[in-house]
Amino acid sequence: MGIVVEAGDGVGAAAHGRSDPPPREPRSEYPTLPAGQDAGGTRPRWEPGTVIFWVAAPDFGQPMRVVRDDDRGLVAWLPAGSDCLAARLPGGRELREVATADRLDLPRTPTRVTWRGPGILRVAPAGATRSYWYFREEDGSPRGTYVNIELPHRRGRSSTVTRDLVLDLLVAPDGSREWKDRDELEEFCSLGMLSTGLRDWILRQGALAAEAVEQRAWPLDEAWSGWTPPDGWDDPLPLPGWVRYEADEVGTDRRNRAGR
């Protein structure tokens, strides 16, 4: 994969981190795509309604439906109940069920799981080191915006690929802000999972994200928190056929729900 998406949200190149690349180390590497899924040196532009796969880490991704895709960036919708890819620890445990230090040497199994809770709208500004996740309540009302610090998105033939970088900024509907997982970022650094240089780079990207939120930069200057999917777009999406997994929670989950 070799296409770095160009900046386009109007905040400037420095606000996207393009003039300040991260230290090169395993935690700042992009997940790899299977053979045949690379974009081959092009930047696909997707029409509304196209189903793509959003990859945020090795063995972590979700199918999403494109809402809009232009020079400013990508807007995509994840319907509730969709199939997703997630890593599981022995015994089917989720990563956050085990202390960070205790899970370092545990094997991880790529697993098909179900996205629980309401659907989520995500926006990835072109070239930015962040994406915006618009959470909502069960009744569809806004629950707040989750600003995810990550590598700028690159594109495959039918996928957008980034790398989650632990730190997040939560923006409540009233505009108040709170950092999430700052303690986990420090723990990753103390355990040698990432360098102090990468930690500091991630914190700089967090500061840029906070500045963008303060300035109401795109997409916050548009009414995405009130967006609703068109008819048929709420149908759960399956995993793409090229995504491989070794365990399956979806079949069991669906049988349990059918039996109730």
**Pick from 3-7, 110-114, 163-167, 229-233: least confident:** 3-7
Q: Give per-residue pLDDT as tens, 177-194.
A: 999 999 999 999 999 999
The domain locations on the chain are 13-230
Q: 39 pLDDT band (50/70/90 cuts)?
A: low
3-state secondary structure labels for all residues of the chain: CCCCCCCCCCCCHHHHCCCCCCCCCHHHCCCCCCCCCECCCCCCCCCCCCEEEEEEECCEEEEEEEEEEECCEEEEEECCCCEEEEEEEHHHECHHHCCHHHHCCCCCEEEEEECCCCCEEEEEECCCCEEEEEEECCCCCEEEEEEEEECCCEEECCEEECCEEEEEEEECCCCCEEEECHHHHHHHHHCCCCCHHHHHHHHHHHHHHHHHHHCCCCCCCCCHHHCCCCCCCCCCCCCCCCCCCCEECHHHHHHHHHHC
Whole-model pTM: value is 0.88
What's domain 13-230's architecture? Answer: Beta Barrel (2.40)
Q: Give per-residue pLDDT as tens, 40-57.
A: 656 779 999 999 999 999
